């Protein structure tokens, strides 16, 4: 029920908070819901680690054993919907919903979602062959029998760090082409991944 309060000969309509929430643009409401979900169902679930005093990832998982599982696929599908609404990285990183002068924690959560989604797309485009790379004791990457792998993120990453996606193996070049075609095609976003996600010159690969 709306309440009416008389104040100095003026009538003021008091609306419940639930109704006030509907005054937010639909995209903003969806973004806030997605950010809360990213925190619980990506960052916490897959054990991303943040610096205690700064908005920086100190550890990001390699998703070993998770690619292609129903939960991982469902998470990637939801992340895609977020990026359909927010499909320009330059705009995304300037959005005050995600990044302010005091904090870029929300944008940091978005980078975790971005990493999950890109890894999922690469896995699908590889015919479900892509896996995390395995290194020898002297830190040399073993070329996988599957034909292609990706190194786990190494070192720290801020909310605005360049996003370098690496692929290793004999099929890396073919997968790079398929990935780029997906993003620019009708099933993707109709634009290159570097515009949507700020991937650094697309995907880098080596034999």
List the pLDDT tens digit at each of the 207 positions of the chain: 434 444 444 444 343 433 334 444 456 899 999 999 999 999 999 999 999 999 999 999 999 999 999 999 999 999 999 999 999 999 999 999 999 999 999 999 999 999 999 999 999 999 999 999 988 888 788 888 888 999 888 878 999 887 888 899 889 999 999 999 999 898 888 888 888 887 754 455 555
- Is 9 among the domain residues? no
Q: Do 144 and 130 meet the contact criterion of CB atoms below 8 Å apart?
A: no
Task: Report which of 110, 45, 97 is spatially closest to residue 72, judged by C-alpha positions.
Answer: 45
- Is 106 among the domain residues? yes
Longest dimension (CA), the chain: 81
**What is the pTM (predicted TM-score) of this model?**
0.82
- Is 19 among the domain residues? no
- Is 112 among the domain residues? yes
Number of domains in the chain: 1
For residue 62, what are the domain limits? 25-206
Task: Report which of 121, 124, 108, 132 is spatially closest to residue 50, judged by C-alpha positions.
Answer: 108
Q: Cα–Cα distances in Å, from 119 out to 67, 80, 152, 171?
A: 8, 12, 11, 16
- Is 34 among the domain residues? yes
Residue 204 tokens read as: 């880098």
């Amino acid at each position: 029920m709306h309440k009416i309060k008389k104040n100095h000969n003026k009538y003021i309509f008091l609306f419940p908070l639930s109704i006030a929430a509907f005054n937010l643009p639909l995209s903003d409401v969806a973004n806030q819901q997605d950010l809360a979900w990213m925190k619980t169902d990506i960052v916490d679930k897959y054990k991303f680690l943040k610096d205690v005093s700064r908005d920086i990832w100190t550890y990001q998982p390699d998703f070993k054993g998770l690619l292609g599982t129903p939960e991982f696929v469902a998470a990637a599908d939801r992340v895609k919907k977020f990026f359909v609404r927010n499909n320009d990285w330059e705009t995304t990183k300037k959005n005050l919903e995600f990044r302010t002068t005091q904090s870029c924690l929300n944008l940091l959560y978005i980078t975790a979602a971005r990493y999950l989604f890109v890894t999922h797309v690469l896995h699908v485009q590889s015919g479900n062959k892509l896996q995390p790379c395995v290194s020898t004791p002297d830190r040399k990457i073993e070329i996988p029998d599957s034909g292609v792998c990706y190194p786990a993120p190494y070192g720290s990453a801020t909310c605005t760090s360049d996003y370098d996606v690496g692929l290793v193996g004999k099929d890396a070049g073919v997968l790079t082409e398929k990935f780029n075609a997906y993003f620019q095609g009708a099933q993707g976003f109709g634009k290159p991944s570097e515009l949507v996600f700020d991937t650094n010159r697309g995907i880098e690969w080596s034999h």
